[in-house]
Chains A and B, each alone.
Chain A
Amino acid sequence: MKKCKVILAALVMLMMFPGYCLASFNHLYWQYYKELPVTSSGFSAIRLDQEVMRHCQENFSDLRVTDQAGREISSQVIQPDKQRLDIATTERDRIEYPDYSSVVLDLGPQPQAHNRIDVNLDSSKDYMREVKLEASLDNQTWGKIGQGRIMMFHGRTYNTVSFTTNTARYMRVNISQVSGEKRLLLTNTQVYFMPVSLYQAKVIPVNLSQRSDRTRTNIVVDLQVPNFFINRVTIETPDRNYDRMLFVESDSQTSKTNRTLTMNTDNIFDYQWQNYASTRDYIEINQYARRYLLLSIDNGNSAPLKITGIKVTASPPYLMADLKGSARLWYGNPNIDLESYDLGKFAYLVQATDLRWVTPGPQQLNPDYKVPFSEQHKWLLDALIILVALGFVAIIIKNFDKIRELGKNEQQP
């Protein structure tokens, strides 16, 4: 009998080892699909429309592309992170004029294309200066290529100036000085090229609801669908001379929950008086958002701002895949993990110019899809699990009493 029990126990143990199971695409678990009309072969950028964004998972884990035969094709959501390319420079001439400072940068005999410069000034206090940029091929003839403002505000520096992409060898940076203020010296500059991202942000239509109390203005921005890549949120107000802290969070509900995503916190301000004007009425986000943006403006003891609108600049995501003909895009599977394809290792090398743009066809319901019972009646299973747990607790408490009695008997001589 003892041997039988041992054998039985061993069998139970052996039964606990499931074999290898290979992960493969099974279309039965995907609720929706779209046809991808492709005629030629090569890397394609599939623009994900609002239908896809509405039904796909938060981290795009359920996006799958299959060929005509139903075989899975590697795909990768194109990351909006821009690959910055720094360019080495040599400082040539530095001249201090009464009302501005000037420095000439030599980018070398055959410089790479460049379109951004970071200008750092020697100051630990807040400042704002105008920057004018000029370019020259021979260090003699100069032409204006751009201008902008750099500033330090509340300890944070905003020191990037964008300009027209060019390949001139020499660049002259002219920094204005403000009379009556300490002259600020240029500490260093960095010229670089920022490639144009696929993510061309546009203002997207949103719905707003807004409420204010004494100290705070709360605004809920409904983006209509989740998974937008948000670049910037601009607060539109006719008010002047304010300086408020703005908090931006995102969630799939209209109120804050334990899983609310913090997007960014920054000041918005507007200073306008005689001979002085400075405004920053937006906050940079550069993140994927859930459906709702929860904006909160800290009013302190000031009157709430009169907000006339919220402008959200965002872009839909793009999926990259090496398509060899017509294909299908599948989405709408809440129980699937993100796949890690080889493509992820080199996708960032593929430039926008190398991609063909594909617009998916209309959304179609997968006729073979069946909602699993566990999803259809999850509440029932939840209740069952909790009831079983309660039953266990009741049994355990009853046995604790028994054990207590046994313990007493054991202690008695």
Chain B
Amino acid sequence: MSPEEQQTLESLQAEITALKARVAALENSPSPHSSGDIPRSRESRSLIRSLRSESNQYTGITTSDASAADHSRLEEYIGGRLLNWVGALIVVFAVAYFLKWSFDNQIIGEMGRCILGLASGIALMTTGQLCQKRGYRLYGQGLIGAGIAIIYLSSFAAVNYYHLITPYIAFALMFITAITGGILAALDNAPATAAMATIGGFLVPFLMGSHTGQVIPLLSYVLILDLGVLFLAYYRQWLALDILALVGTAVISVVAQNMNWQVWPGQAFLTAYLILFIAVAANYNHRTRNNNQFLLFFSTVFFAAVSFSNVINKIEDWRGLFTLTLAMIFLIAYYLPLTASKTTVHFRRWLLVWALIFALLTAPLHLNDVYCAIAWLAVAALLLYLSRHLLLKLPYIVALVIITAVCLTALGSYVRPYLMPLFNQASLLMALCAVDWLLALVILPRLYQNRTYLTLTLSAAVISTLFYLVQFDIGNAIYYCQANQSFTFLIPVAWALISTMVLIIGVRRNNKTIRLLSLVLYGVVIIRTLFFDLRQLDIVYKILVLLAIGLIALAISFFYQKRMKGEVLP
């Protein structure tokens, strides 16, 4: 054995000894995942230090301090990864310049150019794969990426510039490239290759140059691509790839709607995409146990919105059926044994939330006019119940928004008094609004303790709705019976009676806030009477309204006098 061979053998033996000791030290450490958090024992630390120094003697690399290690990593990054990418890009440019030069000088013909491009692309992919197998992972990925790009560009040129092949052959070429890229990415665990293949795959319809505008083949192609992504998502957990696929699918779906779009076949594809991305999201959740809801959220919102705009003109009378179908899809996804056993509780909860959203939207979207508004109020009541049952604030807030919106809509839609008093749609709607406000007021203490301003706001909402209701119906009654307009004097009287009811509730519940609120309401009634009603009324009705309001005020005053004297109140 020569002295050089002897030295190599010794260095290898030392390295094996160092590695064995290192493995032993790692095995003895309390938790391999929390090694950064839990301090190692002094012995093991010293052992590792000694092993590192021993090992470095043989490797010849000086890494005695942390900054040296960082420099080493930076060096590896620049040398191994960045240079690889830059190199691949420069090669692509070099090839492009060469091709331009050869084309300009008529050295290579059109057919030759395309064959050259395809051949070099295949060669680059093959070389890249070989490099990967020999351990040059990053280097190989760069070559494969460049190969995929060159094949796409060559196919694009062949079909669009030179018209050497038909769009179908170009499609087949590009599709095969995308599939090959995907398989190589899965086998080599190479996300960059997968991203390149996916981007290329979604660009194929735009590069292919077909002007037929046929939607079904395009959407079928996207579906096959998405199935490929689902396949990759099963083996590799690349969220970025899933998002890329979602964005690509969304863009092509929107583009396709501006082509020779067919509503029902198109809808079938949109539904399939939605189901597919629910599956991708579930898969990702199962594989990574990551509760990131980005995929589920965006795929649901996007495909539900696009589907709705797609079919709305066809199913004007059956909009509810559409949302019900969506709710059913999410409910089935929730009940699927695979989802139930493999995904996290958080993910399943979100499936239920989406199912609930669509189920709740069914009635309001399905019905029209006043029935739609009533359905919204029923949804608000259900949300209030849910917030109470699950002690969640979000459904409560959503319910309040819905009630407010319905109230405002009702005020805007039924301003014209044509209707029979009490027995009309607007009165029913306002009464239901008041009931919903009251329900919200009752539930409020369970969710928000000691929030007087919230209690006051909701009380004001209930009372305002009731005030409007009585004013509306008294106005209707006068109009309906063609009675003297001065009968509007009944409105402040009715308001005063409502204020009295509030006072009674405040006394019964021994609630100072409610009593004070009732006094404020009396103030409103008196101001209204003096500055608004008196102007409009005939003298007899002026007397009547003043008498009624005055008497009620006196009665309240008497009540408070008794209270101040300390007498027991009813």
A382 at the interface (CB under 8 A from B): yes
Residue in chain B with minimal CB distance to A215: B485
Given A337-B313, A399-B352, are A211 and B268 neighbors across the interface (CB < 8 Å)? no
Per CB-CB distance, the 10 closest pairs between chain A and chain B, nearest first, are A389-B362, A392-B359, A255-B418, A16-B268, A385-B320, A396-B356, A406-B345, A407-B345, A386-B363, A389-B359
CA distance A340 to B413 in the complex (A): 35
What bracket does the count of chain B residues touching chain A fall in?
A: 35 or more
Chain B interface mostly = helix
CA distance A396 to B395 in the complex (A): 14
A341 at the interface (CB under 8 A from B): no
* 27 CB-based A-B contacts, threshold 8 Å: A13-B223, A213-B485, A255-B419, A256-B413, A256-B416, A258-B413, A337-B313, A378-B317, A385-B321, A385-B324, A385-B363, A385-B366, A388-B324, A388-B362, A389-B323, A392-B327, A392-B328, A393-B356, A393-B360, A396-B331, A396-B356, A397-B386, A399-B334, A403-B349, A403-B352, A406-B345, A410-B345
A180 at the interface (CB under 8 A from B): no
B262 at the interface (CB under 8 A from A): yes
* Contact pick for A254, options B272, B348, B389, B418, CB 8 Å: B418
Evaluate contact between B313 and A17: CB separation under 8 angstroms.
Answer: no
Interface residues of B in 348-399 (CB under 8 A from A): 348-349, 352, 355-356, 359-360, 362-363, 366-367, 369, 375, 382, 386, 389-390
Which of chain B's residues have a CB closer than 8 A to the CB of A385?
320-321, 324, 362-363, 366
B147 to chain A, nearest CB (A): 31
* Contact pick for A17, options B269, B346, B479, CB 8 Å: B269
Which of chain A's residues have a CB closer than 8 A to the CB of B106?
none
CA distance A394 to B360 in the complex (A): 11
CA distance A394 to B417 in the complex (A): 39
A18 at the interface (CB under 8 A from B): yes
Which of chain B's residues have a CB closer than 8 A to the CB of A386?
320, 362-363, 366, 375
Evaluate contact between A213 and B479: CB separation under 8 angstroms.
Answer: yes
Which of chain B's residues have a CB closer than 8 A to the CB of A13?
223, 272, 275
A4 to chain B, nearest CB (A): 13
Which of chain B's residues have a CB closer than 8 A to the CB of A389?
320, 323-324, 327, 359-360, 362-363
Which of chain B's residues have a CB closer than 8 A to the CB of A18?
264-265, 268
Which of chain B's residues have a CB closer than 8 A to the CB of A95?
none
A277 at the interface (CB under 8 A from B): no
A139 to chain B, nearest CB (A): 57
A214 at the interface (CB under 8 A from B): yes
Known: A20-B265, A389-B360, A403-B352. 17 other contacts (CB 8 A): A13-B223, A16-B271, A17-B216, A17-B269, A21-B264, A214-B536, A218-B418, A296-B416, A385-B321, A386-B320, A386-B363, A388-B324, A392-B327, A392-B362, A403-B345, A407-B345, A407-B346
Evaluate contact between A213 and B417: CB separation under 8 angstroms.
Answer: yes
Evaluate contact between A404 and B382: CB separation under 8 angstroms.
Answer: no
A400 at the interface (CB under 8 A from B): yes
B482 at the interface (CB under 8 A from A): yes
Residue in chain B with minimal CB distance to A216: B416
CA distance A385 to B318 in the complex (A): 9
Evaluate contact between B324 and A392: CB separation under 8 angstroms.
Answer: yes
A275 at the interface (CB under 8 A from B): no
Which of chain A's residues have a CB closer than 8 A to the CB of B417?
213
* Contact pick for B482, options A20, A211, A382, A403, CB 8 Å: A211
Which of chain A's residues have a CB closer than 8 A to the CB of B345?
403, 406-407, 410
Which of chain A's residues have a CB closer than 8 A to the CB of B478?
213
Which of chain A's residues have a CB closer than 8 A to the CB of B482?
211
Which of chain B's residues have a CB closer than 8 A to the CB of A392?
324, 327-328, 331, 355, 359, 362
Would you give the 0/1 interface string for A373-393, flagging 1 where the beta carbon is closer than 8 Å to chain B? Answer: 000001000100110110011
Interface residues of B in 152-167 (CB under 8 A from A): none
A292 to chain B, nearest CB (A): 12
Would you give the 0/1 interface string for B431-457, flagging 1 where the beta carbon is closer than 8 Å to chain A? Answer: 000000000000000000000000000
Which of chain A's residues have a CB closer than 8 A to the CB of B366?
382, 385-386
Of B272, B375, B418, B536, chain A has the most CB atoms within 10 Å of the CB of B418
Which of chain B's residues have a CB closer than 8 A to the CB of A218?
416, 418
CA distance A395 to B356 in the complex (A): 9
A39 at the interface (CB under 8 A from B): no
Would you give the 0/1 interface string for B318-338, flagging 1 where the beta carbon is closer than 8 Å to chain A? Answer: 001101100110010010000
Which of chain A's residues have a CB closer than 8 A to the CB of B416?
218, 255-256, 296
A221 to chain B, nearest CB (A): 14
Residue in chain A with minimal CB distance to B356: A396
A330 to chain B, nearest CB (A): 21
